[in-house]
A and B are shown apart, each in its own frame.
Chain A
Amino acid sequence: MALSPLVLVIDDEESMRDSCAQILARMGCRVETAADGEAGLRRAGEARPDAVIVDLKMPGMGGLEVLDAVRTLDPQVVTIVITGYATVDAAVEAMKKGAYDFLPKPFTPDELRLIIGRALERRHLALEAERLRREKKLLEDNVITLVSHQLRSPLVAVQQYFEVLLAGMAGGLEEKPRAMIRKASERLTGLMNLINDWLDLAKIDKGGLVGKLRPVALRPLLEKQVEFLTPVASEHGLVLAWGECLENIPPAWGDPASLEQVFSNLLHNAIVYNRPGGRVEVGLGEADEAVLVTIRDTGIGIAAKDLPFIFDEFYRVSRGEGARSKGSGLGLPIAKKIVEAHGGRVDVASVLGEGTTFTVRLPKAEASGPSP
């Protein structure tokens, strides 16, 4: 504690106030005194004492009343009552009202020191616990945002310098350093994606990523993804196209932004773990209460032994050094968690060397949502 503890003594007997004040001052406490309940309460409100010693039997406002009132002002304040004649009843009553301890008159300086020492220790611990509780709550509420900001800021600055260098805006670059900066920049992008993915997972686990559910027409949502990823597929020497796609598929019950992420992740995987000359096909269908989206690739496939693990966080099928930096290892777990948060399911079927099909099953809006 930065300041020495403040003790308020409320007693109608002047000699009692003075002797308590002397003993407490010698212990290193700051002391305030008041001669009656009303004055004591005013002082408590102004000075915010750590501990209050109050005589139970006073003219005017009684000790028990004062006790209640000071605890309303500060629930963590420690209170000690002085009982005139050692009536157990009054002491018990006071303890029931939350008094920390009682001092039967007459008491010795040592008894006062002992009790007030323990009381202040308790006050200290209670405040400390309260502070930690508040800090923990604040951290819990904001940890994702804080971590995100703190982790991303330096990386953004580094990447911004790379962008400037690669654009030749800080002077010309020879081919070799340029190639190295490009690689450094790519690795940094990979790291930023990893952080973003990890934060998304953390948000889903806290129930924060999937927004409000509403009817979502999947066809336009998928068309946007296909349009966006077609150039990426071309870069990989692949064709991204529509496969079997039924007309008049009812809308799904979902959050469009997180569903976009699901399909973006699955399509990315289908493109990245593919072969030049291959295909990625997007299909749309329905079954009973569910809308089905299939993403089929003619890629490298997944071995049966790996299949049970592909939705695990950071699990990556080992494919030698070449595939090392292709993804964060979190794209599939994110997709799965989002779909499951919708009450849906992701299934996978794969043949090594031939390709993989992911099927996303989402509840139909008509079955899940409020009827329009």
Chain B
Amino acid sequence: MSASSAKILVIDDDPDFREAVTAILASAGHRVVPATGPEDGKAKILTERPDLVLLDIMMDSLFDGYALCHAIKTGQEFESVRGTPVVFVSAVKDIAGSRFGFHGGAEGLSAPDDYLDKPVKPADLLALVGRFLAK
């Protein structure tokens, strides 16, 4: 990836949220690949090979953000994209206290590389992307 511009997969079932986040990322020259949900995201991470995945937790189906993150981190089919950082972007209040323990990996789920609360502050999001680009 180039030093300043990244290809970012935004997996979220809310089209308006995707549009707003795309505007933020585009303003800094990043390229956004939108995915409409976990299934779509699962396919696109393999075909698009993004530099970073922004993943909503979307708890309304069994294959949710938690499950997709776990699959990316441990599933055999994702071996070729294993190093891709995954960031939860969620309005689930208090991620640490929910089904997922961010620090402990409760229920044996793999942790994301970072997380952001929704709504995201544009500056926070761009700073986070910058941190992962620098790695």
Contact = CB atoms under 8 A, between A and B. Distances in A.
Residue among B20, B23, B24, B93 with the highest chain A CB neighbour number at 10 A: B20
B91 A167 contact: no
Interface in A143-180: 145, 148-149, 152-153, 156-157, 159-164, 167, 169-170
Contact of B118 (A148, A156, A196, A211): A156
Nearest to A261: B94
B115 to A, nearest CB: 15
Q: How large is the interface on B (under 10, 10 to 19, 20 to 34, 35 or more residues)?
A: 20 to 34
A132 interface: no
A86 interface: no
A320 to B, nearest CB: 31
Interface string B110-135: 00000000111111000000000000
A15 B25 CA distance: 79
A152 B92 CA distance: 9
A157 B20 contact: yes
B91 A152 contact: yes
A257 interface: yes
Contact of B93 (A157, A160, A196): A196
A355 B120 CA distance: 37
Nearest to B122: A167
Given A152-B91, A169-B23, A160 B119 contact: yes
Contacts of B119: 156, 159-160, 162-163
Contacts of A167: 24, 27, 122-123
Interface string A284-324: 00000000000000000000000000000000000000000
A113 B118 CA distance: 61
Contacts of B20: 157, 160-161, 163-164
Nearest to A200: B93
A164 B17 contact: no
A115 B14 CA distance: 54
B120 A163 contact: yes
Contact of B27 (A145, A157, A169, A196): A169
B59 A164 contact: no
A153 B13 CA distance: 10
B16 interface: yes
B108 interface: no
A173 to B, nearest CB: 13
Contacts of B32: none
Given A156-B17, A167-B122, A257 B97 contact: yes
A161 B14 CA distance: 12
Interface in B47-72: 59-60
B21 interface: yes
B118 A145 contact: no
Nearest to B19: A161
A161 B21 CA distance: 9
Interface string B60-91: 10000000000000000000000000000001
Given A149-B59, A164-B24, A169-B27, A157 B121 contact: no
A163 B121 contact: yes
Nearest to A153: B14
Contacts of A152: 91
Contacts of A156: 14, 17, 91, 118-119
Interface in A210-255: 211
B97 A211 contact: yes
B122 A169 contact: yes
A161 B119 CA distance: 9
The interface centre, meaning the residue of A148, A152, A160, A162 with most chain B CB atoms within 10 A of its CB, is A160
A267 to B, nearest CB: 19
Nearest to A196: B93
B57 to A, nearest CB: 10
Contacts of B96: 257
Nearest to B99: A145
Given A153-B91, A163-B20, A170-B23, A145 B59 contact: yes
A231 B94 CA distance: 22
A257 to B, nearest CB: 6
B23 A164 contact: yes
A358 to B, nearest CB: 24
Contact of A169 (B16, B24, B94, B97): B24
Closest 9 CB pairs of A and B: A160-B20, A157-B16, A159-B119, A167-B122, A169-B27, A160-B119, A156-B118, A164-B23, A156-B91
15 contacts: A149-B59, A149-B60, A152-B91, A153-B91, A156-B14, A160-B16, A161-B16, A163-B20, A163-B24, A163-B119, A164-B23, A167-B122, A169-B24, A257-B94, A257-B96
